[in-house]
Amino acid sequence: MGPTTPSTRERIIAAASKLFYSEGVRAVSVDAVADKAGVTKRTLYYHFKSKDDLVAAYLEGRDQPNLALFRRWFSEAEGSVADKVRSIFHHLAVSARHPKWKGCGFLRTSAELANMPGHPAIKVGAAHKKRFEGWLSEMFESEGIASAEPLARQVVLLMDGAFAAGLLHRDASYMETAGDAAFALVNAAVPTKRRRR
């Protein structure tokens, strides 16, 4: 069987994803998305009742792939749970060195829509960050870490701070420094018998 042809809706979301990530959600018009997707504006509005819904769909499309990538980086890393957490930051630093890297799409979109807290994309972004935090907490609990929930939140704060500083300074080493800090936090929280020496 050959590859399946993407549906019209999928083509629109793919076009929106490329444009929104590279240029920002406010800078990109519905006309530009329709043009890139090879559809009419009317067709786009048949699938999405508003640009707001399209922006939310763009972030929804990033949610599970991003989480799956974090899980894969974590599971493929060797060493302790602290090493595995640091590995996520290492991989993000590699991504940040790519010339087309523009930071975290969820954070950038939330910054653009900061004056619209009820926007559907803000809700999607917040849910994504909570899912990642919840998954990290589960990983920490499985290692016998008593403070799994606050520790997961601390790691998320380090990651989001690294996204912001890395983008501001165009310097991926902020991601690596945050990874070292996350390693230290996690390693200190691991029960002594499991701690890396």
**Both 157 and 115 in a single domain?**
yes
Residue 181 has a pLDDT of: 98
Structural domain harbouring 144 = 62-190
Report the pLDDT value the prediction gives residue 5, as an integer from 0 to 100. 80
pLDDT at 149: 98
Residue 196 inside a domain? The answer is: no
Instruction: Compute the Cα dihedral for 34, 40, 43, 49 and give only its sign.
Output: positive
pLDDT confidence of residue 94: 97
> In this structure, are 90 and 174 located in the same domain?
yes
Annotate 104-140 with b (16+ C-beta within 10 A) or e (fewer). bbbbbbbebbeeeeebbbbebbeebbeebbeebbebb
Instruction: Evaluate whether residue 44 is within a structural domain.
Output: yes
54 lies in a domain? no
160, part of any domain: yes
Identify whether 38 is part of a domain: yes
Flag whether 195 is in a domain: no
Angle at 58 between CA 53 and CA 64, to 5 degrees: 120
Residue 53 in any domain: the answer is no
**Separation between Cα atoms, residue 163 and residue 161, nearest integer Å:** 5
At residue 193, the pLDDT reads 64
- The burial class, CB within 10 Å (0-12 / 13-18 / 19+), for 191 is exposed
- 69 and 15 housed in the same domain: no
The answer to whether 113 and 121 are in contact (CB under 8 A) is yes
C-alpha–C-alpha distance, residues 31 and 88, integer Å: 37
25, 70: one domain? no
Asked if residue 80 and residue 23 are part of one domain, the reply reads: no
**Residue where the block lists tokens 């998305």:** 33
CATH of residue 171's domain is 1.10.357.10
Other Cβ atoms closer than 10 A to 46: 13
The CA distance from 76 to 41, in Å, is: 43
The CATH number for 7's domain is: 1.10.10.60
Count of domains forming the chain: 2
Predicted structure pTM score? 0.91
**Are residues 68 and 32 both part of a single domain?**
no
Is there a single domain that holds both residue 101 and residue 126?
A: yes
Residues 6+ apart with CB under 8 A from 55: 16, 20, 25, 109, 113, 119, 120, 121
Whether residue 176 sits in one domain with residue 113: yes
pLDDT (tens place) for every residue of the chain, 197 residues total: 556 788 999 999 999 999 999 999 999 999 999 999 999 999 999 999 999 999 999 999 999 999 999 999 999 999 999 999 999 999 999 999 999 999 999 999 999 999 998 999 999 999 999 999 999 999 999 999 999 999 999 999 999 999 999 999 999 999 999 999 999 999 999 997 655 55
